[in-house]
Amino acid sequence: MQLSRFVVPYRNVRPGEHILYSVLDDRYVGVDDAALRALSRWQTESAAADEREAQEALVAEGFLVADRAEDDERLRAHLEKASQGVPGTMFVTLMPTLQCNLACNYCFQKEHPAFTKMSSPTEDATLEWILRTVDERALRKLHVHYFGGEPTTRKDYCLRTAEILSASMAARGGEFSWEMTTNGVLLDVEFAVAMRRYGDGIFKITLDGDKETHDRERIYRDGRGTFETIFANVVELVRAGVRVRIGGNFFPDQLASFERLLERLEQAGVAGLLEGVKFKPIVDTQKYGVGTCTGCSSKQEAQTLVQLNKNIERRGMALKQHQGETLESLLGPCELHWKNNYTIDPDGHVYKCPAVAGLPQMAVTQVAEKQGEKIAPLVELRPWEQCGDCSYMPVCVGGCLGGEFLKTGRTDKVHCKKEIFEKSFRETVVRRYLAEFYEGEQVNQAA
Ligand code: SF4
Ligand code: SF4
């Protein structure tokens, strides 16, 4: 018997007490010194009579495996399950336009603004493609993520497509839901309420720190800051019962500024009304400045991230789960690896990852095409096979391959976030364990 390679030990979380954490099952168990020592002995010897019960429990819970082949098989089954995403659900990121009403300093489009908008024939072909795919795969739920450019510069498109998709899913006995990533400048309650008529939905709005920091980065084309407008819109929307999540992109030295933003949200009395707050490091897309990442962090700014997450949790502002999300979907490999997940750009090219939208050579098909899709260029070379026995493979699978491509132009390299995983998993798992078994006690961070 051997410890599964997907189990990470956290030693001495209390004197003489250690945690074994299974990344594959998101499960933990506490063991004492004797059990920890026995683990290495059991690789070559049978368990002693008084150890058998403990060994059997660890086997039953997947912490111990017979051999490497058993781990390989469990990983294969886990990734197969993860590739279903949220079972029975089709996810589509729709880009009605690449146009944006702002000129944020870190945005790659600032110097070369894009104006592409989805044409009416492409819009029709897109809706047809989505519904055909839903039917072919017998999916019951459709979740559309409106993304850009800035989707609120095309409110007409959002309302029209939501109405059609909502009615079409209802006619099939299914459900339609949506989310919208927006800078929040043009958002108003009237539009939000109109969207909600077509299905449950949520707005994801970006605030990059406090007013001072945000207004250095997120500016109108004439250079004015946007913080006060967006903040006022957020307050008005959440008070009207609209579902809003706050996101933000930080540089490693901006911890204090993001902390001040959290404080201001609390002072405005809206912290408890939000669907949650999530910050991530600014994505470096220097080489191919084309796409935008919706879900990844491309720098290892682990320490700031861990600290911000702690502050968010302490204030009770962590993300609430919403429709289409399960714990598995938040912990597992990103949507690039999900079978029923696509991004469609304004020209109707279909991708598996939003970061490469706008680069037709990275597309898997086109909405007007009737034949099937090709394998996504980002996964074709299976770069994660270089990762060997990494414990984080079940949740990572090579990391943000879209972000790595944007940065390096290569599809044969992983984007390793191991440092972030090591720090944030340890932090979270130890906290969960102590909260469950020793409420109120402090974490001993000694490794
Ligand atoms: S590869 Fe990166 S940008 Fe693409 S879906 Fe995954 S996390 Fe998002
Ligand atoms: S990219 Fe890094 S963290 Fe991810 S599986 Fe590979 S080695 Fe592990």
Q: Give the pLDDT confidence of 350-381 residue by residue, as tens digits.
A: 999 998 998 999 999 999 988 789 999 999 99
pLDDT level of residue 114 (50, 70, 90 thresholds): low
Please check whether residues 169 and 231 belong to one and the same domain. Answer: yes
Please check whether residues 185 and 245 belong to one and the same domain. Answer: yes
User: What's the 336 CA to ligand 1 centre distance in angstroms?
Assistant: 6
Asked if the model's pLDDT at residue 332 lies above 80, the reply is no
Please check whether residues 74 and 167 belong to one and the same domain. Answer: no
pLDDT level of residue 327 (50, 70, 90 thresholds): very low
Polymer length of the chain: 447
Asked if the model's pLDDT at residue 300 lies above 50, the reply is no
The residue-averaged pLDDT of 207-236 equals: 91
Please say which residue of 313, 342, 366 terminates a domain: 366
- Domain of residue 151, residue span: 87-366
Q: Mutate which of 393, 400, 413 to test ligand 2's pocket (most atoms within 8 Å of Cβ)?
A: 393
Atom 8 (ligand 1) nearest CA: 295
Asked if the model's pLDDT at residue 234 lies above 60, the reply is yes
For the ranges 98-102, 318-322, 328-332, 390-394, which has the lowest average pLDDT?
328-332
Atom of ligand 2 nearest to the CA of 418: 3
Beta bridge partners of 17: 14, 32
Asked if the model's pLDDT at residue 158 lies above 60, the reply is yes
* Ligand showing the shortest atom-to-Cα distance for residue 298: 1
141: Cβ–Cβ under 8 A, 6 or more apart, which residues?
A: 86, 88, 89, 90, 169, 174, 175, 176, 177, 324
Beta bridge partners of 142: 90, 176
User: What's the 369 CA to ligand 1 centre distance in angstroms?
Assistant: 24
Asked if the model's pLDDT at residue 316 lies above 50, the reply is yes
Please check whether residues 267 and 329 belong to one and the same domain. Answer: yes
Please check whether residues 330 and 308 belong to one and the same domain. Answer: yes
Torsion of CA 154, 155, 156, 159, to 10 degrees: 130
* Ligand showing the shortest atom-to-Cα distance for residue 300: 2
Please check whether residues 110 and 144 belong to one and the same domain. Answer: yes
185 falls within a domain = yes
Q: Give the pLDDT confidence of 167-197 residue by residue, as tens digits.
A: 999 999 999 999 999 999 999 999 999 999 9
User: What's the 51 CA to ligand 1 centre distance in angstroms?
Assistant: 44
Spatial distance between the Cα atoms of 96 and 149, rounded to a whole number of angstroms: 8
Spatial distance between the Cα atoms of 204 and 150, rounded to a whole number of angstroms: 12
For the ranges 36-45, 188-197, 299-308, 413-422, which has the lowest average pLDDT?
299-308
395 falls within a domain = no
404 falls within a domain = no
Please check whether residues 142 and 19 belong to one and the same domain. Answer: no
The residue-averaged pLDDT of 325-354 equals: 82
176 falls within a domain = yes
Please say which residue of 321, 338, 366 terminates a domain: 366
Atom 2 (ligand 2) nearest CA: 416
pLDDT level of residue 111 (50, 70, 90 thresholds): low
66 falls within a domain = yes
User: What's the 292 CA to ligand 1 centre distance in angstroms?
Assistant: 9
User: What's the 162 CA to ligand 1 centre distance in angstroms?
Assistant: 24
Please check whether residues 289 and 198 belong to one and the same domain. Answer: yes
Q: Which residue has the tokens 């961070």?
A: 445
Q: Mutate which of 353, 407, 413 to test ligand 1's pocket (most atoms within 8 Å of Cβ)?
A: 353
> Which residues lie with the beta carbon below 6 Å from any ligand 1 atom?
293-296, 334-336, 353-355, 400-403
Asked if the model's pLDDT at residue 280 lies above 60, the reply is yes
At 217 the pLDDT is 83
User: What's the 334 CA to ligand 2 centre distance in angstroms?
Assistant: 13
Give how far Cα 176 sits from Cα of 109, 163, 172, 337, Å: 32, 10, 11, 22
Please check whether residues 309 and 343 belong to one and the same domain. Answer: yes
* Ligand showing the shortest atom-to-Cα distance for residue 295: 1
User: What's the 390 CA to ligand 2 centre distance in angstroms?
Assistant: 6
Tell me the Ramachandran region of residue 382: left when phi exceeds 0, alpha when psi lies from -120 to 50, beta otherwise: left
CATH of the domain at 244: 3.20.20.70
Atom of ligand 1 nearest to the CA of 401: 1
Q: Mutate which of 401, 404, 406 to test ligand 1's pocket (most atoms within 8 Å of Cβ)?
A: 401
Structural domain count of the chain? 2
Q: Is the peptide bond before 199 cis (omega within 30 degrees of 0)?
A: no
Atom of ligand 1 nearest to the CA of 293: 3
Spatial distance between the Cα atoms of 400 and 378, rounded to a whole number of angstroms: 10
249 falls within a domain = yes
Helix (H) or strand (E) holding 178: strand 175-182
Please check whether residues 256 and 159 belong to one and the same domain. Answer: yes
Nearest to 268 by CA among 223, 233, 294: 233
At 108 the pLDDT is 60
Give how far Cα 339 sits from Cα of 84, 252, 349, Å: 6, 34, 17
61 falls within a domain = yes
Strand segments, DSSP code E, in 229-321 are 244-250, 277-281
Please say which residue of 80, 104, 134 terminates a domain: 80
Please check whether residues 125 and 42 belong to one and the same domain. Answer: no
380 falls within a domain = no
Nearest to 285 by CA among 404, 378, 407, 401: 407
* Phi/psi of residue 192, nearest 5 degrees: -60, -45
Q: Mutate which of 95, 334, 382 to test ligand 1's pocket (most atoms within 8 Å of Cβ)?
A: 334
Please check whether residues 236 and 297 belong to one and the same domain. Answer: yes
